[in-house]
Amino acid sequence: MNSTNQNGPLLEVRNLSKHFGAVRALNDFSMAVRPGEVVALAGDNGAGKTTLIKAISGVFQPTGGEILLRGQPVTFATPQEAREKGIETIYQDLALADNLSIGANIFLGREPMRKAFGFLPVLDRKAMAEAAKQTMGRLDFHVSRLEAPVSNFSGGQRQAVAIGRAVYWDAQILIMDEPTAALGVPEQRKVISLIHQLKAQGRGVIFISHNLQDIFAVSDRIVVLRRGVQAGERKISETNHDEVVKLMVGG
Amino acid sequence: MTSTSPAQPAEKHVAPQADHGDPARSLVARIAEGRAWLFLAGLLICFEVWSRLAFGATFVLNPFNLQSIAIFAVAPLLLATGQTFVIISGGIDLSLGFIMGLAAVIAAHATNMAGAAIPLPLAMLAGILASVIVAGVPGVINGLLISRLRVPPFIGTLGMFGVARGAAFLLAGGTTVPVQNSWFALLGNGKFYGVPYLVLITAIFVIVMHYLLSQTRFGQHNYAIGANVQAARRAGIDIRGHILRLYVLSAMCAGLGGALYAARFTAGAAQAGEPLLLDSVAAVVIGGASLFGGSGTIFGTVAGALVIAVIQYGLVFVNVEPFWQFIAVGVVIIISVLIDQAQRRFSGARQDE
């Protein structure tokens, strides 16, 4: 399922810049994500994390530099294009339609159809529910009421649905913006375990968080941004909270 | 604090929580969803008892009563089907009443004009087609105002309410336009095995609209947009195109309502749909839709429209002063919304405070 070319990076960002007029939100920034790797992006507010992920996910066009997907340079005019190439962003405020089922959310905008009575096109709810069940099962998340609207589920479960949608559409790079921010502690742990699942499946994850504990629990590497430039990059196994904080605040 | 190694053993995964499959909650939700049918059943029982006590006659088992109620419900229901789509998407269409009036006038004029040139049955079809298509024009304008120019639906369609009203009265020359077409009159007043053609046409139309809302991508996207526009946009749904089609659809529903009105009274009148606009909103709300968007069904709206028709007809039948209708319908709307609120609070779903 994962077409990886010999441990080369799935995603590489080279000398990426994004300027808004005179403001250099992102300047000459480089990083890479390999298959099965979780890279944490840390930095103070306004350090350029959001600008970076928006450039990678096709929301902004970068001013300079390039993005390579499996070694091939790519440009995205819209977030849809990025998604079609396998880069999925999971937003902090969860892009779910609360009144629809898990299956309907997974397939939102590309619903499967079947022919009723041989001619009448209708939504294939059975296929949606089946896909939902399988996908959520792969994330170690088992639901019995597949037809229930997602508003019935908890924050962590909804986060799982958003991740499940990305997994179903075979996203290879998942960008997760503060996925644990709005959750209670048990739910945070659930999301952390979901990220481990994604990692085990060979996907690349860019994980943005303010919570160093979460970062250390889940990431392989940490990249610190400060005022639009890369302030440092460390392997998680070779660093500690203090060092990361120093990189973030520039102490 | 020590750093955790990146490769964590699988046993550390937290067991997934059970989903909240609380049977009591889903029972309440089901009752809340079907409340319009419960209202309807309750009302029919009330009128039956009242009628038997007061006149010793049956209310429900009298086919004439059922026919009259169904005919009563036709026009508000046609407006309300379109309104259902719009309200589910989180909008509202206030122009429907006068789009219906405009369509009724167009249907009358077009049928008469076509009748001079082509056979009467074809002239009738031409008249209906013309009225539905012309009704689509204010729908297109509504849709463009709301989707491209970001005019709030309430104001955009309120403006169109005035425009359609004026246009309808101008085209009608300030009076009603009689239709000279025996086929058209037959369509409006004839019956098929005791079922009026109007009711038959409306029933088929409603089933088609139910299909559109519940079984197609258009319907699915409509629910998604009503719940979370942002999510729908990120999922790649063409919001602008959808909103445009949506308001054209609702205007065309009103157009059909206008054509059937012209058939029933063999005349087109600009004020045909004037009292029906708020009835259509009421039918949708009684039918279980939320004005915040994201919920509602066509069959709920059917029940809502029937509730209103039963109240209106039933109170006349048991000889109560007609003004009580307004009070009764108003009370039902309020109770319906209270049930909706209570159910939201109970289910712990997203609330708009």
- Best of B217, B343, B345, B346 to disrupt the A interface (most A CBs within 10 Å) is B217
Chain A contact for B24 (CB, 8 A cutoff) = no
- State whether residue B232 sits within 8 Å of chain A by CB: yes
Please indicate, yes or no, if residue B28 is contained in any of the structural domains: no
Instruction: Give the CATH number for residue B130.
Output: 1.10.3470
Q: Is the dihedral of CA A54, A60, A64, A67 positive or negative?
A: positive
Of B23, B19, B29, which is closest to residue B347 (Cα–Cα)? B29
At A229 the pLDDT is: 87
Which residues of chain A are within 8 Å of residue B16 when distances are taken between CB atoms? 140-142, 190
Q: Is the pLDDT of residue B349 over 70?
A: no
In a domain, B14, yes or no: no
Query: How sure is the predictor about B135, in pLDDT bands with cuts at 50, 70 and 90?
Result: very high
The full DSSP string for B242-307 is: HHHHHHHHHHHHHHHHHHHHHHHHTEE-TTTTTTHHHHHHHHHHHTT--TTSS---HHHHHHHHHH
Question: B236 vs A220: CB contact, 8 Å cut-off?
Answer: no
Q: B220 in contact with A at a CB cutoff of 8 Å?
A: yes
pLDDT at position B24 is 59
> Which of A140, A154, A236 is closest, CB to CB, to B6?
A236
Cβ within 8 Å, pair A98-B215: no
SS3 content of chain A, % helix, strand, coil (to 5): 35, 30, 35
The answer to whether B319 contacts chain A (CB < 8 Å) is no
Whether B199 has a pLDDT exceeding 90, the answer reads: yes
The band of B217, judged by pLDDT with boundaries at 50, 70 and 90, is very high
CB burial string B258-267: b at 16+ within 10 A, e below: bbbbbbbbbb
Mean pLDDT of B27-43: 83
The whole-number pLDDT of residue B56 equals 87
Checking DSSP bridges between strand A23-33 and strand A11-20, what pairing results, if any?
antiparallel
CA atoms of B141 and B110, how far apart (whole Å): 22
Distance separating alpha carbons of residues A202 and B271, to the nearest angstrom: 66
**Given this model, what pLDDT does residue A23 score?**
86
Tell me which residues of chain A have a pLDDT lower than 70: 1-7, 92-94, 251
B9 touches chain A (CB under 8 A): no
Does the residue B15 lie in any domain?
A: no
Question: The tokens 């400060």 sit on which residue?
Answer: A226
Q: Is residue B350 part of a domain?
A: no
Residue to substitute from A92, A96, A99, interface B, most B β-carbons within 10 A:
A99
Instruction: From chain A, pick out residues whose CB is under 8 angstroms from the CB of B223.
Output: 97, 99-100
Number of domains within chain B: 1
Q: Are residues B14 and A79, on separate chains, in Cβ contact within 8 Å?
A: no
Q: Residues A77, A79, A81, CA angle at the centre, nearest 5°?
A: 65
Does the CB of A96 have a partner CB in chain B at under 8 Å? yes
* Mean pLDDT (whole number) for B137-142: 96
The amino acid sitting at A151 is: S
Residue B16: predicted pLDDT: 41
Mean predicted confidence (pLDDT) in B126-131: 95
Q: How far is A94 from chain B (nearest CA, A)?
A: 8
B-facing residues of A in 23-62 (CB < 8 A) are: 38
Q: Is the pLDDT of residue B348 over 60?
A: no
Which residues lie across from B191 on neighbouring strands? B196
Range of the domain at B127: 36-342
Interchain proximity B16–A111, CB inside 8 Å: no
List, in order, residues 6 or more apart from B76 with CB less than 8 Å away.
Answer: B276, B279, B280, B283, B305, B308, B309
Which residue in chain B has the smallest CA separation from A217? B4
**Cβ of B6 under 8 Å from any chain A Cβ?**
yes
**pTM score, whole prediction:** 0.85
Window 141-200 of A, Cβ < 8 Å to B: 141-145, 148-149, 151-154, 156-157, 186, 189-190, 193, 196-197
CATH of A11-200+213-249, one of 3.30.300.30, 3.30.450.20, 3.40.50.300, 3.10.20.30: 3.40.50.300
Touching check for A123 and chain B: CB below 8 Å? yes
For residue B164, being part of any structural domain is answered with yes
